[in-house]
Structure 1
Amino acid sequence: MNETSKQLLKLAHAYSHELSQHEVIRQYWGELSLVLKGSVSRGNSDRYSDIDFVFFCEEDDLGHIHAAYHRLGLTDRTDGVFIPIGEWAGHYHFESYATLQGYFDKHDFPQVWEFQQSIPIHDPRQRFSGLIERGSHEFMKEALPFIKNRYLDLHLTLDWMRHPLRRGDSISAHLHAARIVQELCRIAYLLDGKSYPHDKWVSTFLPTTRFGEKHGAEILAYLDVMPNRHNVTAHAELAEYACYAEAEALIGKAGAFIREHYGEHPWIEHWYNYV
């Protein structure tokens, strides 16, 4: 944890004490879990970071809390009572434990990743910690179906990119190439049986994965071969387009990684029969 994160973590504990005295929150304090997430909890804060709190409570309490905030004129928002603290030193909102469980049940990878990295600041009944532990234990026990879907999406995106390339449509080709980088980053986490971050951080933590440690530099270097606005020559052979040929090679490395760690599967080679 860097020094900025340590300083903000201390501030988070101070704000936690203040929030415990809040006219609405104090009524539910014994039942609430207060969680610190974001760059502070991950330990990589910088000058742009703030304190990102989430309160978790029962679904019924969530409705009562929302109603109390509105009745007291503390907010006019309807998206979870999103409230700034300390003149935008941070902010907080409310979610239910059922919503948290739903992130695991629905395999909402970025949200699961976010809360797996978080720090419980106030969790008196271990509701949040217990849910994260149980959910993480079951989560991605069978990773291969998710890996397969992401791998097929990679091939399909590459296949779609050939049309704008041959037509000389550099904007569309660029969008497909960016999608390939995104999907390669995401599959790196899935290949380890883990959830992946939101796009804001998906490349930052890429080296923490086995595939990312091995091929992360190549994946990010692929950005350099994305077509610029006016440099796509129409009607060329696909192998002549670096953004196509290099993407095909990177996807091939993902396929090789799957073979090495998950065994041979017909959809690796014959992906077109499965999309």
Structure 2
Amino acid sequence: MAPRWEDRLRQFVPALLAEHPTLRGVAGDSAAVLHGSTTLGVEDAFSDLDVWLFLPEARLAALRAVERGSFFAFTLAGKEGHLNLESREECARRLDACDLPRIAELRRCRLLTDPNGWAGALVDRARQEMRAPVRRAWFCYHYVEMRSEHRACDNPIERGDAVALLLATTRTLEHAMRAALVLDGEPYPYSKWLARACAATPTGRAVLCLVEDVLDLLATDALRAPGPERQHPLSLKLREIRRVLVEAARAAGIDEPWLAQWWLFLDEARQGIEGVRW
């Protein structure tokens, strides 16, 4: 579905820029990029056309001085869309700093206009294989955070606090899915696309099957099941997810103390992702 919209947008966006009173004249300095659900092949009544318009920071600042906001809505062939102004320098900084959801978007985006070749070079960098230090740091971070959130389930289970257990379980699953994707060398997308991304990688699929089991347990009112924690169905399922990640990490050559003694490495894991670059 993306190629159809890609071709239309290649004609539409330059005309939109030329006719817009504020955006008129930026075509030579800008790069337009299609991203979002359309590039995943998702087109339904709830999807729209997401287009980034990258500009040099100085040019973007000048535009913002005369136009409030950076969001411009449009309609193309009955399909709603929006043009979102972005700083190209800020995007490059986010890539360097391993903003993994942004990198995931860049990996699957489609170039619409790129007169200076800047956007194409950025996308090529985003599509490079994830380096070992990046993989190790971000897997460590999400694994340790997953263990911390799983531990946060203990007292809510013993106290019968279903709301606190729901929140801790959700955070545990999110970190687990992100850890699985990173371990497979795949930058993870925004939360709403996590399950779709996990279904496409080996460790992700193994974790996703267990996440589906958690959903089945939630449907049986497991949040209100009594303790003790070591016998609680949700906690047992989260332990299975942990086992999958530990076994996959060791198979990939990652066998470090924080896989077991995670609580000793909370600060180190959080600091570790600050020091790596894409």
Same-fold call, TM > 0.5?
Answer: yes
**Superposed CA offset, 1:75-106 (max 9, x none):** xx33xx20111287211121111111121122
Matched, 1:21 2:14: no
Q: Aligned equivalents of 1:62 and 1:230: distance in 2?
A: 48
- Give 1:58 shift: 0.6
* Matched ranges for 1:1-275 at <5 A: 2=1, 5-22=2-19, 23-68=21-66, 70=67, 77-78=68-69, 81-86=70-75, 89-137=80-128, 140-142=131-133, 143-226=135-218, 228=221, 231-233=224-226, 236-275=227-266
Q: Is the 8 A contact 2:72 2:82 kept in 1?
A: yes
| Amino acid aligned to 1:161 | C
- Give 1:272 shift: 3.0
Aligned with 1:262: secondary structure? coil
Q: Is the 8 A contact 1:82 1:94 kept in 2?
A: yes
Q: Is the 8 A contact 2:55 2:88 kept in 1?
A: yes
Q: TM-score, normalised by structure 1?
A: 0.87
Partner residue of 1:73? none
- Give 1:219 shift: 2.2
**Superposed CA offset, 1:220-258 (max 9, x none):** 22222238387232xx32222100111012111101100
- C-alpha RMSD over aligned residues: 2.2
Q: Aligned equivalents of 2:122 and 2:60: distance in 1?
A: 18
Gaps of 5+ in 2: 267-278
More helix by share: 2
CA change 1:144–1:126 in 2 (3 A) is same
Aligned with 1:205: secondary structure? helix
- Give 1:6 shift: 4.5
- Give 1:205 shift: 1.9
Aligned with 2:128: secondary structure? helix
Gaps of 5+ in 1: 71-76
CA change 1:50–1:11 in 2 (3 A) is farther
Q: Aligned equivalents of 2:243 and 2:189: distance in 1?
A: 23
